[in-house]
Chain A
Amino acid sequence: MKKDIVSIDIELIRKKARHELSHEEEQHLEAWLSSDKANKAYYEKAQFYYKTKGVFNAQKIDREHAWNMVARRLKRGTNSLVKRWTVAAASVAAVVALVTLVTLVVKQPAEQVQVAQKVTAIEPGHRSAELILSNGQRVRLGQGSQELVEENGTTINLASEEAIYKADDQKASADDLQNTIRVDRGEEFTLVLADGTKVWINSMSELRFPVNFSKAVREVEILSGEACFAVAHDQQRPFIVKTPGHDVEVLGTTFNVSCYKNDEAIETTLVEGLIKISNQKGIPEPIIIEPNQQYVFSKTTLDANVRKVNASVYMAWTQGRFIFEDDSLESIFKKLERWYDIDVFFINNEKRNESFSGRLPRFENIDVILNMIEKVSDVEFNLQDNTVTIK
């Protein structure tokens, strides 16, 4: 939706972060923002960078992983690398072909993507959720702008894609009022908490948090599901995320927690900074997790271990993508089930463990996704009503 062509200098975006815009400049910025959705996305990333003073800029780069991604895309040449590929297992070849294909398909405009005839259109999830205020009142999120005021003066600005909390320092009591956000199947939503911490909440998740932070410790609780936290730095007040298995304690950093009820493990993945895992049954000493490490806690055996991962893969959902790296179809379809609100059945159980790699768009209809997987792997999908069967 392009209206008039309004352009803007980066200077204004910087000045906005410092609240230095004149009335006219503010209007200019607004005009630019409303002329295209993509503008807004860029603006938010820039604001986030300037406001956090680039703290999150130091995200680790996984060069080895990047090289693998590049090497898979190369076609020219007949050297050792290619030879190694030909002797590798057939499944590896399939993955290579897939990555190339997916890259090609994703780069084409949506209209050109071939859609199989047999599938009906199942649309991706959208940005919405339900908010439960401290007095028990329920509010639908994602339906336009609105401002709410909590009993202690905290205002909640509801926009179509996020809710922003602002505490009233005069009225805020030491006794924090709690809100709960419920994000259903086929939904996701973003919150900005009263301390400036940004939280992306994935489908089928529930998070409880205070409307303002007046205590010595900032504490929120993820009851189930998945959330990614970009915690606003505050040396004085640690930020604690309580999960059903343990606590995650931070000062200011970006990390992802996944604790779905139907997943066997709770996974905490760190992008930047340091986090401390504490308060876990049977483990008295806190455990320090570094960037690109993942803490995996088994809910059944209560065992835990730390593994090296490419953290950006686990954050991809907050940026509108699925990234799969040798993931099993079973785990992939668990994610698709939540986002597309579909049911999935494996007719052939062996297919559960078939692996797949690729980057897929999160905001396309499901047939686009299924087509991509089908083209390069040895599986067949059938889509009827809201059920995908896998042969």
Chain B
Amino acid sequence: MRIEDKIIFNEIKKGNKEVYQSLFDDYYEKLVAFAKSFLFDQHESEDLVQDLFVYMWEHASKVNISTSIKAYFYQSIRNKCINHLKALKVKDKNNLLYMDGVLQADDDLQHFDPKLLNEIMQSIEDLPEQMGKVFRMKMLDGLSREKIAEELNVSVNTVKTQLQRARQRLREKLLQRTGLLFLL
């Protein structure tokens, strides 16, 4: 585990609610968006993410984080969603729901499944130059939109649209790879 994550998690074990709340603030929306691409239901997704946060707080001493807090969050939500789908007898053989979730979550990609990451890296190659650059800076280097705008000397709005388009293109690419067209 990274040292920062270790410190953060230790604080949570000790009962530091401010640290806990700032984690919540950082991840809540992203995790809900992620869950929602599996469940298609905002209420259920929000409930699921809230349950995870409550569990993490109440059982901090039992929670075992091997890689990073971020990976723990996404992995837990993914597992919960897959269990939910299992009960409905729905399969996601080609990881389509997962891929869509990863792109919806709008988070940097390093913490997701390496196989999937590889697929995405290959697809980035096919993006137009500027778009690929913006996407890489955001999703892989984890830079803020403002920072990217500054470095490339464009407006924040341009960065936003580029990211949106990149995500859309990428989604189409990824789904074509698995022989499917996606409706977006």
Contact = CB atoms under 8 A, between A and B. Distances in A.
Interface in A156-209: none
A59 B41 CA distance: 10
A282 B70 CA distance: 54
Interface residues of B, number: 40
Interface string A1-26: 00001111111011001100000000
B96 A14 contact: yes
Nearest to B181: A18
B89 A6 contact: yes
B180 A35 contact: no
Given A11-B93, A17-B183, A61-B32, A70 B40 contact: no
A45 interface: yes
Interface string B18-37: 10010011001100110010
A74 B57 contact: yes
A51 B183 CA distance: 8
A54 to B, nearest CB: 6
A51 B16 CA distance: 45
B58 A70 contact: no
A70 B17 contact: no
A88 interface: no
A73 to B, nearest CB: 5
B17 A80 contact: yes
A14 to B, nearest CB: 7
Contacts of B90: 7-10, 13, 39, 42
The A interface is mostly helix, strand or loop, or mixed, namely helix
A130 B41 CA distance: 29
A14 B54 CA distance: 33
Interface in B1-60: 15-18, 21, 24-25, 28-29, 32-33, 36, 39-43, 46, 49-50, 53-54, 57-58, 60
Contact of A11 (B53, B87, B180): B180
Given A8-B90, A38-B87, A61-B32, A70 B54 contact: yes
A358 B146 CA distance: 40
Nearest to A54: B184
Contacts of A38: 87-88
Given A39-B88, A74-B54, A77-B17, A14 B182 contact: yes
A49 interface: yes
B156 interface: no
A257 B94 CA distance: 41
B92 interface: yes
Given A14-B180, A18-B181, A74-B54, A63 B89 contact: no
5 contacts: A9-B94, A11-B93, A63-B25, A74-B58, A79-B17
Interface of B: 15-18, 21, 24-25, 28-29, 32-33, 36, 39-43, 46, 49-50, 53-54, 57-58, 60, 87-94, 96-97, 180-184
